[in-house]
Amino acid sequence: MTKEQKNEVIEALKEKFSQYNNFYVTNTESLSVEQVSKLRRVCFNKNVEMKVAKNTLIRKALESLGNESYAGMFDSLNNVTALMFSENPKEPALIISSFRSESKGEKPELKAAFINGDIYSGDSNLKTLTQIKTKNELIGEVIGLLQSPAKRVLAALLHHHEKQAEGASTEATAAE
């Protein structure tokens, strides 16, 4: 690889790191070509970008961004590395988990994940990452929590109004 080609890869990676708040660093070393192709297809279908690059180029791209929060990712840059970029913080974790279940294997292995500035190191965090709530899920929960008391108040008011209406109609019938 020429120096110019390396610089192109670094620039492309910098663009991806700047574009996404979430990325996963995985080890795909023991996967067959067929398995990697299948993983790429699944990622594509779930709007997750998968990139394979040399660890030194990934490191240079991260370092050149000047964001010190990426420093914790450097320890994960070893062996064969595939990066998974996603807007949804848990989608890559779900892909890895389901891929492992289907292939009955241990790969791809999660080396680290960078989720909105937080670093999750090690494969032991995969289950935790599958349970992260997305922004839309959190918004839905908040709306549900806000609606619940309002619904109870409305129900109580309607019930009270109905009782008053019943009482008024009973009084009117008695007066006739």
- pLDDT of 116 > 70? The answer is yes
Residue 146: domain span: 133-176
- For residues 87 and 110, membership in a common domain is answered with yes
Q: Which of 132, 150, 168 is the last residue of a domain?
A: 132
Nearby residues of 11 by Cβ (< 8 Å), 6 or more positions away: 61
Q: What is the CATH number of the domain that holds 24?
A: 3.30.70.1730
Residue 121 sits in the same domain as residue 157 = no
Instruction: Tell me: do 127 and 138 sit in the same domain.
Output: no
55 and 106 part of one domain: yes
pTM score: 0.75
Residues 123 and 150 in one domain: no
Q: What angle do CA 35, 100, 118 make, to 5 degrees?
A: 105
Q: Total structural domains in the chain?
A: 2
Residues 91 and 157 placed together within one structural domain of the fold: no
Q: Are residues 117 and 176 in the same domain?
A: no
Q: Indicate if 106 and 144 belong to the same structural domain.
A: no
From 17, 26, 3, 118, select the one nearest 64 (Cα to Cα).
17
> Which of the four pLDDT bands, split at 50, 70 and 90, describes residue 168?
low
Residues 91 and 171 reside in one and the same domain: no
Mean pLDDT over 5-13 rounds to 93
Same domain, yes or no: 153 and 93:
no
pLDDT, averaged across the chain? 86
| DSSP designation for 104 | T
Identify whether residues 78 and 161 lie together within a single domain: no
Statement to judge: residues 34 and 88 lie in one domain: yes
- What digits encode the pLDDT tens for the residues 38-85? 999 999 999 999 999 999 999 999 999 988 888 889 999 999 999 999
What are the φ/ψ torsions at residue 32 (nearest 5 degrees)?
Answer: -75, 165
Whole-angstrom distance, CA of residue 56 vs CA of residue 115: 22
What is the residue whose two structure tokens read 């994940």?
113
pLDDT one-digit tens code per residue, 14-26 = 999 999 989 999 9
Query: Which strands sit side by side in the sheet containing 49-52, from one edge to the other?
Result: 49-52, 81-86, 22-27, 109-115, 118-121
